[in-house]
Amino acid sequence: MSSPYSSTLVHRERGSETSSGAFFMIATILLGFAVGIGAIFSVLMWSDAHNARDQAAHTANVSAGTQHSMPGMDMSTMSTSAASSTGALTSYAGAAPENADALAAAHQPYPADLPAAPPGPVADVNLALTDITIQVAPGVRYAAWAWAGGAPGPVIHVRQGQLVKITLTNKGAIPHSVDFHAARIAPDKAFGDVLPGKSVSYTFRATDPGVFMYHCGTKPVLMHIANGMYGAIVVEPKPGMLPKADKNYVLVGSEWYLDSDGLQKPAQFSQDKAHARMPDWMTFNGYAGQYVKHPLTAKPGELVRFWVVDAGPSIDMDFHIVGTLLDTAYPFADMNPAHALNNVQTVPVPAGGGAVFDVKIDEPGLYPFVSHSFTAVDQGQVGLLNVGNVEGTMSH
């Protein structure tokens, strides 16, 4: 016989089971609603993503279709998708024909000797920009935007305080300009674009001594410099500021970014490689290793002055002469003797900057001058200073 207590317990248990069943039924219904709503949101998000992808692809195709090819540039190297911008880049470093050695020996080297400064109060400088096929290494041709004589442009030598009158004539197919790092002048007034077939003139006072870069400043500047539109201007300090040099040499460092090896047809500019800072060749005065086959010269005990510019467009130079120290260095082309460095081994020259180096070597021999970033040496930024007219050659 059950007690009142046991009857109450059974009633409570049955009531509990009924409440639990109702709870689980409601939870199941709510869960079903949640799954359904989640599925609807997933479909909507997929649809938005699909439409966005299609729109992006359409925009990329339209952009690619509206690009215009320009002389000296292969637009196929321009990135129009993530795949082309992140894909492997091909290096043509070291490409050479079988007769490369003979071609190097026959090459007429760029004249590194500092030319004389013009007399009188005004230095008239005439520059002509043009599209021209050049060689950047033995047998390696490149479709450059450069100067009438190739790349780099002519060395300009003026005296501190002289008025410099620049006349630029554009003989190329697209607009160009010329920007002088030695000038203190409003660039919007002097460095404007010059249309094909047109000329422009402006003047500036060469108030600051040193060695400076000049280059085309038309957008995209990276492309115009990399295609050969650069050079050096030496502003000689006033008499008595520096010791007299027996030899003066001008070196302009630069990088070349090629879309092919340049052996069968002229190579053109690769923007992808330029953005990756992956040059195929690096040079002094526009041609790989030209001063190895055709060394610069000096007599024992002579003071040799190197006026060095790094045209870049992107990679710094670390100037060094093997077998000696830089007796006096004027970093950043600061010609104040109180700021000079003495007896240093290697001095950086930044892209777009310059420096001046004095060396005096007593022992005859072959002394390589390099950028001590040795990838640059392997890619051609190396030359020899032959002291004492010794026989033979070497590479470093």
Would you place residue 210 in the very low, low, confident or very high pLDDT band (cuts 50, 70, 90)?
very high
Least trusted range by pLDDT, from 51-55, 116-120, 129-133, 384-388: 51-55
Q: What is the mean pLDDT of residues 154-162?
A: 98
pLDDT of residue 194: 95
Q: Quote the tokens at residue 77.
A: 């190297």
Largest CA distance in the chain: 136
72 φ, ψ to 5°?
A: 85, 5
Residue 161 CA to residue 122 CA, distance in Å, equals 10
174 has a pLDDT exceeding 90: yes
Q: Which amino acid is at 225?
A: I
80 pLDDT band (50/70/90 cuts)? very low
In this prediction, residues 114-143 reach a mean pLDDT of 97
Task: Report the chain's mean pLDDT, rounded to a whole number.
Answer: 84
388: burial class by Cβ within 10 Å (0-12, 13-18, 19+)? middle
What string of DSSP letters covers 259-306?
A: SS-SSSS-B-B-HHHHHTT--SEEEETTBTTHHHHS-EEE-TT-EEEE
Does pLDDT of 79 surpass 60?
Answer: no
14-69: per-residue pLDDT in tens?
Answer: 344 444 444 444 444 444 444 444 444 443 434 443 443 343 333 333 333 333 33
pLDDT at residue 89 tops 90? yes
| Residues 263-289, mean pLDDT to the nearest whole number | 98
Query: Is pLDDT of 161 > 80?
Result: yes
Tens digit of each residue's pLDDT (9 = 90 or more) over 310-348: 999 999 999 999 999 999 999 998 999 999 999 999 999
One-letter identity of residue 33: F
**Share above pLDDT 90 across residues of the chain, in percent, rounded to a whole number:** 76
Q: pLDDT tens across 347-374, in order? A: 999 999 999 999 999 999 999 999 999 9
Please list, in sequence order, all residues whose beta carbon lies within 8 angstroms of the beta carbon of residue 18, skipping any fewer than 6 positions away. none
- Supply the pTM of this predicted model: 0.79
Query: What pLDDT, on a 0 to 100 scale, did the predictor assign at position 393?
Result: 76
pLDDT at residue 253 in the model = 98
The pLDDT assigned to 87 comes to 57
pLDDT of residue 396: 56
pLDDT value at position 298?
98
- 394: pLDDT confidence band, cut at 50, 70 and 90? confident
| 222 in Cβ contact with 203 (< 8 Å) | no
Angle made by CA atoms 270, 261, 396, in degrees to the nearest 5: 100
Mean pLDDT of 152-175: 97
Tell me the residue type at 300: P
